[in-house]
Structure 1
Amino acid sequence: MNVSALTPSELKLRLKTAGIYLQTGSFTTHLKTTIPSVAEGIGLLYADYPLVEQDCFADFHVNLTRPRNLRRWFKPQALFLFDGNTIFKPLPLDQAFPMLEWGLNWCVSTHVNHCLMIHAAVVEKGGFAAIMPAPPGSGKSTLCAALVNRGWRLLSDELALIRVSDGKLIPLPRPVSLKNESIEIIRRYEPNAIFSRKVADTIKGTVAHMKAPADSIARAAEAVQVAWVIFPKYQAGATACLETLPQSRAFMRVADNSFNYSLLGLQGFKAMTKLIDASLCYDFTYSKLDDAIEIFGALKPQAANNNHMYANEL
């Protein structure tokens, strides 16, 4: 059963009481909330996600709630609870849904260490994935949103999860986070895209989340081979340019964007080495999304891929 099988009132009631067990990729989150905007956001953006059996095992136990002090009425706030504990400082109540999304990213990035984790958007086409590591403001999420609205499969907007056992990438398709001008850029680029309401004055500016394509959600169990590591950068007025990047430099830059490369030790080094060896690496500058889509559409994987060596070398 998917979230969409519940009426809005049924969803709100279940979230207030026993909670729901929401499947996102290979992770199950036991999620509870009494905040209407969070329930509405889940109903809108997670409609196509499966619900698993109540009281099953959950990787994460999350509750979005309101403080019990005066903040419940005066400048109301939202709290993110993980295993019943407050993890972050409270945020204004109208930021509760973005807080949920940021909190779910935190759950994965701090508790999943059977994978090499990289802060990156990830998309796939034709059985091959492109990892796009980049700092905030680079246009990573804007490019990712455009690609998944032009035939690429969304694997993740924020986290590349590389399985150390075989180098395959584990999908984690969730809503795409967009901010400031990027929101209207993608609205114009794909008028049929579904968005949460815009929330202003967050630590990231004005934010909104775009619903993941239904096909990406349905294929969330399909791990995929990485073929490209591309460092995107939006530059106003620039001609789209894909420039080959030496693997040594790509290695260091991907390591800088990894959450747990050092924590994994030798296993992390071997996984990163295999990832870079198996990938074509590029810097990519763009200003027009249509030009970017055309260049990505022309990407070809390496003729020979080294991922089959994982079993012997890790």
Structure 2
Amino acid sequence: MFDAILHVPPFNVRLRSSFAAVRRHVQAFYPQAMRPDDGDVFIDFDIQVLPGRGLRKVWRPQARFLLDGAEPFFPLPAAQAAPMFEWGMNWCVAQRPMGWLVMHGAVLARDGAALVMPGFPGAGKSTLCASLAFIEGWRLLSDELTVLDPADGLLLPHPRPISLKNHSIDVVAAFPGAQLGPIYRDTRKGTITHAACPPASMARAAERARAAWMVFPRFEAGASLQIERLSRVEAFTLISEQSFNGERMGAPGFEALCAMFDHVSCHELVYGSTDAGLEGIRRICAS
């Protein structure tokens, strides 16, 4: 049984699993995250990834995700145990931290200024995020989750592997410095894999950033580059749709999001290739 304490900023996670694939995944993507179990670490998420019960241990074997002993969603095929850990972590962060506003979006930073790219399905967010991290040298705060602290209005780093799917896998595999893990086929998201977070981003995981740009990307194969400025009202409405816990936070979350927009330039970006997407980001962030 693999049993480890992981510091995945800003959270501490206890992970137990009998799946060798989960152990290999953690050792490959979280080598600096492991902490000694000295009994003094506060655990935010107590996670187990375990085999199915009864016949499901041997016949069409399954993997189950448990948080604090409870099973919040249905099992998956055992071959998907490692990505199940990543999906389960996303669920934990989205559902549990009541003190921070959590939204679905990638976050990268440069010189303390953050770029937020909300995560609408099929928008090409993860590919563009990986392009900025590996090609342009932006610091990756998160590929999936935008975490805003109402106390200071800053975005918290939550650096983890970048989730890639389908055609984006071959694109990112060619990026300099990109390290990809095993490929998982026939998942609920299609064919997926993960790219390791750049070491430089992991090393600076304690550095918060202030949102400066919000870009809603949309990849359309063959499309010409289009950049359109959005009003703060339009952008606020769109990002609110991507908030996981805004309703639960109530007024503090609403006020924190309003305050964030005091410093943010908002745009919609349509692009037909990785190079065009990067050029669009350069133009937006230079203005």
Q: Under TM normalisation by the shorter chain, which class is it?
A: over 0.9
2:158 is aligned, of 160, 167, 172, to 172
The reply to whether residue 263 of structure 1 matches residue 248 of structure 2 is yes
2:224 alignment partner, one of 223, 235, 239: 239
What TM-score do the two structures reach when normalised by structure 2? 0.95
Taking the aligned partners of 2:13 and 2:33, their CA distance within structure 1 comes to: 12
In the aligned structure 2, how far is the partner of 1:282 from the partner of 1:291?
Answer: 15
Question: Residue in 2 aligned with 1:30?
Answer: 14
CA distance change for structure 1 residues 193 and 80 in 2, over 3 Å: closer, same or farther? same
Report the CA distance between 1:297 and its aligned residue. 3.1
Shift of 1:195: 1.2
Give the superposed CA RMSD.
Answer: 1.5
d(CA) in 2 for partners of 1:191, 1:129:
23
Q: Secondary structure at the match of 2:171?
A: helix
Cα separation, 2, equivalents of 1:20 and 1:242:
45
Alignment partner, residue 116 of structure 1: 101
Q: Deviation at 1:52?
A: 4.7
Q: CA deviation at 1:301?
A: 7.6
1:48 aligns with 2:32: yes
Identify the match of residue 182 of structure 2 among 197, 206, 209. Answer: 197
Shift in Å, 1:191: 5.1
Distance 1:242-1:174 versus aligned 2 partners, 3 A rule: same
Q: CA deviation at 1:79?
A: 0.7
Decide whether the 8 Å contact of 1:173 with 1:216 is kept in 2.
Answer: yes
Unaligned runs of 5+ in 1: 1-15, 303-314
| Structure 2: distance between partners of 1:49 and 1:194 | 17
- 1:45·1:195 contact (CA, 8 Å) conserved in 2? no
Deviations 1:129-151 (A, max 9, x none): 01101311110111111111020
In the alignment, what sits opposite 1:277? 262
Matches within 5 A, 1:294-309: 294-300=279-285
Percent sequence identity over aligned pairs: 39
Alignment of 1:218-257 (within 5 A): 218-257=203-242
- AA matched with 1:46: Y
Q: Post-superposition shift, 1:218?
A: 1.1
Aligned match of 2:132 in 147, 158, 161? 147
Q: What is the deviation of 1:298?
A: 4.0
